[in-house]
Chain A
Amino acid sequence: MTEPTPVQVDKPVVSQVSDVTTPGMAVGIDGTYEAGLELKARSQWSYARNRFLRHRLAMSGLIVLVIVFGAGIFANLVAPYSFEEIDLTNVLAGPTTAAHHFFGTDEIGRDFFSRVIFGIRTSMEVGVFVAFVSSIIGVIVGAVAGYYGGWIDNILMRITDLVLTLPALAILLTAAALLGQGSQWRVSVILALFFWTGLARIVRGVFLSLREKEYVEAAKAAGSGDIRIMFRHILPNTLGPIVVNGTLSVGAAIIVEAALSFLGFGIKPPTPSLGSLIASGQQFPQKWWITVFPGLTLLIIVVAINFVGDGLRDALDPQQRRVRA
């Protein structure tokens, strides 16, 4: 792995400029100011932001994601019906704009568009929660293993290997079936407990190389404790990989949750989940909209997240010039 760029936290370069005491230089700067030209301080982050804003695929992914997730967040306002409103006179109707049944209705006449919108909300909540919690676990495990090394590192990395060699989907299914009880939050916690391994390895790698740096030594000499060095001095340098990994794991968690719900061991009705909505389509092979719309929504969400993740990688980790695949 290439050594990641040390990312400076928003420290305006201006302060350095004003420190300049050479008269000649100062005149030059004053001259610039007098000519009405503003000196613009550009931090590492603003470079990253510019790289990201210029990344076309990532930006289109982000726009799609904002629209889809926005619909999920404001599901109450966007959805024309509630997700449990039954209309037995209008069962399994095809997509139409007439009664705002854009995605048709299901087998007991519930508006499928509204159900998909509320399903997006569920998926989104699960994805963001899993990414957030698993990132915290991954960062702590990786930081402790990489910083202390030795037997702590050995044990933590063996545990990581262990989780990676398990048959992931089968274990998750078992855990969700026996401990999940169909609750959204229980399923999310179970997923989070399986999603931290990749990030833990990345963070550990960065910590292993950075703990030998001079600034860590300086911090130690100044009397900083281990916790302060780990989270104050080293952690900001691993922020790039953490953000990229976290973004991509939102998508992965959404897919796995959908797979669990599809097989009937994830989130249980009445909470609509994209996975269980797709599963209901299997009973009606000729009513294509029940399978196609929730699946398409799922696919669009995950593709958009992957685009954003790739863009973030290119923006935050410019040294890691991987071949675009």
Chain B
Amino acid sequence: MLTYITRRILYSIPVLIISTFLSFTFVSLAGNPTDNLRANPQFSVITYNNLQHKYHLDRAIPVRYWFWVKDVFEHKLGSSLVTSQPIWPDISRTFGHTAQVIVLAEILALILGVAVGIFSAIRQYSPFDYFFTSASFLGYAMPTFWLALLLQILFVDIYLKWHVRIFYTAGLNNPGQGTWSFDRLQHIGLPVITLTIISFALYSRYMRASMLDVINTDYVRTARAKGLPENKVIMRHVFRNALIPIVTIAALNFGGLLGGAIVTESVFGLDGMGYYFIQKLGQLDIYAVMAYLVVTSTIIIFFNLIADILYGYLDPRIRYD
């Protein structure tokens, strides 16, 4: 097991290098922010060239990639080409906010999705099952940004009509409020609800299918045949086995959640990593964009690893060699 984990971690390193190199290549190919200085008549060619040289923009892309990698390790992701500010403080601040939203949404979606999946499977073809199966079908096709926008419009209208503040529809905090205050919850409520609904559709769907798969196995029939009470059959034999694929899907869903966070944070103007990324992308701030891509790629690769390890741990039938 330990050798397997070590090998997987070692294998992740070239994946990360290649993926960052590819992103770096086409981000750099698309131009750099000093291009518009060249058109500026107040800017001498010598200054321009010095600037190019200072930031290694005149070198070949593999060389620039090497300088960039050095920067990432020596100067914590380097600094922005547009504002000359270090990137690390921005990334670490926004990372915390995004993590708060994503983790809350993931926990809520898992609890609700697993519970609804179990009940749908036990009472297959009941009205409850039909309702949630169709709901998950809708949620599965629902564009995240539209859902976010509908919620935002709904709560703006509620506030304008009745002057009740249930959730704030933009921003992260009122002045002077902290990370775990009620005020913060009112602000991140709608982004969390959006991401929860999207993931809930996924989890309840898979949980139901997985439960039905297990219910039809021989060992469940045996458990019933030996006279075990139905709730024990469900909890001890079906539920525990049906949960295994859900754990993997939950770990792999982090990539989707990060993508969803880009959209929801942009709609709600939440100071998270996704919103930061969108703003920097609009300014063609290539090193800030790269910093976001590196951090999120690492997160996704990490959770892929977790998924693999958990899968083997939960299901002893899986053997690594």
Q: Spell out A's residues near B (CB within 8 Å).
A: 161-162, 165-171, 173-175, 177-179, 251, 255, 258-259, 262-265, 275, 278-279, 281-282, 285-286, 288, 291-292, 295, 298-299, 302-303, 306, 322-325
Q: Is the interface of B mostly helix, strand, loop or mixed?
A: helix
Query: Is B304 on the interface with A (CB-CB < 8 A)?
Result: yes
Residues of B within 8 A of A275 (CB): 145
Whether A262 lies near B263 (C-beta < 8 A) is: yes
**Chain B residues closer than 8 Å to A170, beta-carbon distance:** 258-259, 262, 277, 292-293, 296
Report the Cα distance A325→B86, complex, angstroms. 48
Given contacts A173-B281, A258-B143, 18 further A-B contacts (CB under 8 A): A162-B18, A170-B277, A170-B296, A174-B27, A174-B293, A177-B281, A255-B143, A259-B263, A263-B262, A263-B278, A278-B146, A282-B149, A282-B152, A285-B157, A286-B156, A291-B149, A295-B150, A325-B206
Closest Cβ of chain A to B212, distance in Å, is 5
Q: Which residue of A lies closest to B304 (CB)?
A: A165
Closest 3 CB pairs of A and B: A178-B30, A169-B259, A295-B146
B213 within 8 A of A: yes
* Residue with the highest number of chain B CB atoms closer than 10 Å, among A179, A279, A285, A291: A285
Question: Residues of B contacting A177 with CB < 8 Å?
Answer: 281-282, 284
A324 to B19, CA, bound (A): 37
Interface centre among B145, B259, B284, B289 (most CB of A within 10 A): B145
How far is B153's CA from A295's CA once the two chains are assembled, in angstroms? Answer: 13
Let me know if B301 and A165 touch, CB within 8 A: yes
- B169 to A, closest residue via Cβ: A285
* Inter-chain contact A264/B149, CB cutoff 8 Å: no
- Tell me the complex Cα distance, A286–B153, Å: 7
What's the minimum C-beta distance from B181 to chain A, rounded to whole angstroms? 26
The answer on a CB contact under 8 Å between A323 and B209 is yes
Nearest CB on B from A262, distance (A): 5
Contact B259 A298 (CB under 8 A): no
CB distance from A266 to the nearest CB of B (A): 11
B267 within 8 Å of A (CB atoms): yes
A299 touches B138 (CB 8 A): yes
CB-CB under 8 A from A166, the residues of chain B are 19, 23, 297, 300
Task: Chain B residues near A279: list those with CB within 8 A.
Answer: 145
User: Cβ of A298: which chain B residues have Cβ within 8 Å of it?
Assistant: 143, 146
Chain B, interface residues (CB within 8 Å), range: 35 or more
List, in ascending order, chain A residues with CB within 8 A of B267's CB. Answer: 282
User: Mostly helix, strand, loop or mixed at chain A's interface?
Assistant: helix
Question: How far, in angstroms, from A166 to B15 measured CA to CA in the complex?
Answer: 10
Q: Tell me which of A165, A178, A288, A325 contacts B26 (CB under 8 A).
A: A178
Assess whether B205 is in contact with A325, with CB atoms less than 8 Å apart. Answer: yes
Report yes or no: A281 in contact with B259, Cβ–Cβ below 8 A: no
Chain A residue nearest in CB terms to B16 = A165
With A161-B15, A168-B255, A179-B26 already in contact, the answer to whether A299 and B143 are too (CB < 8 A) is yes
Write 27 A-B pairs (CB below 8 A) sorted by A numbering: A165-B19, A165-B255, A167-B296, A167-B300, A168-B259, A171-B23, A173-B278, A173-B281, A174-B23, A177-B284, A178-B31, A178-B284, A258-B145, A259-B143, A259-B145, A259-B263, A263-B263, A282-B152, A282-B267, A286-B157, A291-B150, A291-B153, A295-B149, A295-B150, A298-B146, A306-B140, A325-B208
Residue in contact with A165 in the complex, picked from B15, B160, B206, B281, CB distance below 8 Å? B15
Q: Determine if B213 and A323 form an interchain contact, defined as CB atoms under 8 angstroms apart.
A: yes
Q: In the complex, A282 Cα to B262 Cα: how many Å?
A: 16
Instruction: Tell me the bound Cα distance from A265 to B262 in angstroms.
Output: 13
Alpha-carbon distance A161/B308, docked complex (angstroms): 14
CA distance A281 to B149 in the complex (A): 8
Q: How far is the CB of B101 from chain A (nearest CB, A)?
A: 16
Residues of chain B within 8 A of A324, CB atoms compared: 133
Q: Is B55 part of the binding interface, using a Cβ–Cβ cutoff of 8 Å? A: no
From residue A285, how far is it (CB to closest CB) to chain B in Å? 4
Min CB distance, B219 to chain A, in Å?
18
B18/A165 in contact, CB under 8 A: no
Q: Does residue B144 face the partner (Cβ distance < 8 Å to A)?
A: yes
User: Is B196 located at the chain interface by the 8 A CB criterion?
Assistant: no
Given that A178-B284, A251-B141, A302-B141 are contacting pairs, would A263 and B23 also be in contact in the complex, using a CB cutoff of 8 Å?
A: no
A residues near B278, Cβ cutoff 8 Å: 173, 263
Residues of chain A within 8 A (CB-CB) of B111 are none
**Any A CB within 8 A of the CB of B142:** yes
Report how far A298 CA is from B205 CA in the complex, Å.
22
Contacts of A168 in B (CB 8 A): 255, 259
Chain B's closest residue to A305 (CB) is B141
A323 to chain B, nearest CB (A): 5
Q: Mark B272-287, 1 if CB is under 8 A from A, else 0.
A: 0000011001101000
- Kindly state the separation between the CA atoms of A179 and B29 in the bound complex, as whole angstroms: 9
**B26 near A167 (CB under 8 angstroms)?**
no
Mark contacts of B196-240 with chain A using CB atoms, 8 A cut-off: 1 yes-contact digit, 0 otherwise: 000000000110110011000000000000000000000000000
A278 to B297, CA, bound (A): 29
The contact of A299 among B31, B142, B153, B205, by CB within 8 Å, is: B142
The one of A259, A265, A291, A302 that contacts B144, using a Cβ cutoff of 8 Å: A259
Q: B153–A281 contact, CB under 8 A?
A: yes
Task: Tell me the complex Cα distance, A48–B296, Å.
Answer: 43
Interface presence of B137 (CB below 8 A): yes
By a CB distance below 8 angstroms, the chain A residues around B146 are 278, 291, 295, 298-299
- Chain B residues whose C-beta falls within 8 Å of the C-beta of A322 in the assembled complex: 209
Q: B26 — which chain A residues lie within 8 A by C-beta?
A: 174-175, 178-179
Contacts of B266 in A (CB 8 A): 263
Q: Which residues of A contact B137 (CB under 8 A)?
A: 303, 306
Closest Cβ of chain A: how far from B11's Cβ, in Å? Answer: 10
How long is the Cα–Cα vector from A322 to B210 in the complex, in angstroms? Answer: 10
